[in-house]
Amino acid sequence: MATPSVISKQRVLIVDDSKIVRTTIARLIRATFDVREEANGEAGWQAIASDPSIVAVFSDILMPELDGFALLERIRKSENERIRRIPVIVISGDEDDATKKRARAAGANDFITKTTDGTEILSRIDNLLHLMEAKQQAAVSQQMVEKTATHDPVTGVFTPHYLVTEGQKRYSHARRHGGPLSVLMLRVETYGEIAEKVGKNVADQLLAKIAKLVMATLRAEDSMGRTGEAVFTVIFGGTSSQQAIAFARRVQDQIEKAQITYRDQVLKMRASFGLAALDIDPVGSLEELMKLALQRLHQAASRAAQRIVGRDEVNLVKPTTLPSDLERAVQLFEGASAEQLGDAAGEALRRMLPFLLAVCRRLNVDFPADKIAQALKDREK
């Protein structure tokens, strides 16, 4: 005869420095929930962080070590999504309305008093858990929609997921054939200011115009997507870093010269750009290339913010010149024989190998890096 399966109860955490309060609430809900008790906020936080079975938290406000406000703040600011979503019911005593308002602002989902009956408490928990489940299902559904969608509804360009899908094709082609590929990120720095001044709908319309402006100049082998609220990413197939820089400068000039008026208000637009490209960046994946472009976009934005003139510059990689010590090394190698270099030859080659690899990548020249690296390794034995 089969043993009937036991349905485990969901676990609720009660955090209160009063044992009487903890015991009272636990007695009222224990028939429906598994109950865990902690006597202060710090112990409560450790329980939440270490026990993934906790589905709801009852918390007092005034507690030793870590009060209810601090506990709420930790929960709502946690990097763990499970913790951030946990419903928190505050156990209120004689607190005034201002204290309750502060708790609500900090992320409390509901309140009970220390005299609330068991039926009411169970009803509150049940409602919160159903609400959280509905929100989670909605979030999952939204993620599925975003994942399967190909175009951003506001601007008409690719969604982030689809951009990466298309970009992988461009990246694989570039790697197979040894061709160039560039990733350019563009952020409209004045988007937030415009949204605050004339509304988000108008700001979104401007984003759509910028997207249309950029798209009109792209080729069939290029892909463009919206990868942030006011951020666009363009993946250029068969395009070197210098060609992408020239493109960015043209777009920047068009954006900043655009005369846009809304209800007698002149809306100024500024943009920052960040670039990464295979001919200047030794990366192993499209994701790495996009991360580099994003880092340079942040650098471009911060540089522009420090300028008195409110005009962003394209913060891109510029060709580097040989430092004087490298020039001296080259001169030494040119005039020296193998005997004169002696043991320094191996060390010099080991240190110059990354430089030689970068130059060969830039010129699309095959380089026996593996053989040289192995020879240097054998020499060390």
State which H helix or E strand residue 261 sits in. strand 261-262
Low-confidence ranges of the chain (pLDDT < 70): 1-8, 94-96, 132, 134-136, 138-140, 142-148, 303-350, 353-355, 357-371, 373-374, 376-381
How many whole angstroms separate alpha carbon 3 and alpha carbon 9? 18
Q: CA nearest 10: which of 43, 42, 46, 34?
A: 34
pLDDT tens-digit profile of 170-184?
A: 999 999 999 999 999
Which residues lie below 8 Å from residue 142, measured CB to CB, with a gap of 6+?
none
Cα 347 from chain centroid (whole Å): 40
How distant, in Å, are the alpha carbons of 62, 91, 317 from that of 274?
A: 49, 50, 9
Give the per-residue pLDDT at 111: 84
H helix intervals, the chain? 19-29, 41-50, 68-76, 81-84, 97-106, 118-148, 160-177, 191-198, 200-215, 241-257, 286-305, 324-335, 338-341, 344-363, 369-380
How many whole angstroms separate alpha carbon 130 and alpha carbon 136? 10
Q: Are 224 and 239 within 8 A, CB to CB?
A: no
| Residue found under tokens 């409560």 | 44
pLDDT tens-digit profile of 235-249?
A: 999 999 889 998 998
Which residues lie below 8 Å from residue 105, measured CB to CB, with a gap of 6+?
none
Give me the amino acid identity at 48. Answer: I
Give the per-residue pLDDT at 171: 95
Q: Are 299 and 311 within 8 A, CB to CB?
A: no
- pTM, whole model, 2 decimals? 0.48
Q: Are 111 and 90 within 8 A, CB to CB?
A: yes
Rg (Cα) of the chain, in Å, rounded? 30
Domains for the chain: give ranges and CATH numbers: 11-144 (3.40.50.2300), 160-305 (3.30.70.270), 324-380 (no CATH)
Cα 16 from chain centroid (whole Å): 36
How many whole angstroms separate alpha carbon 10 and alpha carbon 336? 78
Q: Assign 179 to helix, strand or coil.
A: coil
Q: Are 46 and 19 within 8 A, CB to CB?
A: no
State which H helix or E strand residue 272 sits in. strand 271-277
H helix intervals, 2-117? 19-29, 41-50, 68-76, 81-84, 97-106
Give the per-residue pLDDT at 373: 66
Give me the amino acid identity at 272. Answer: S
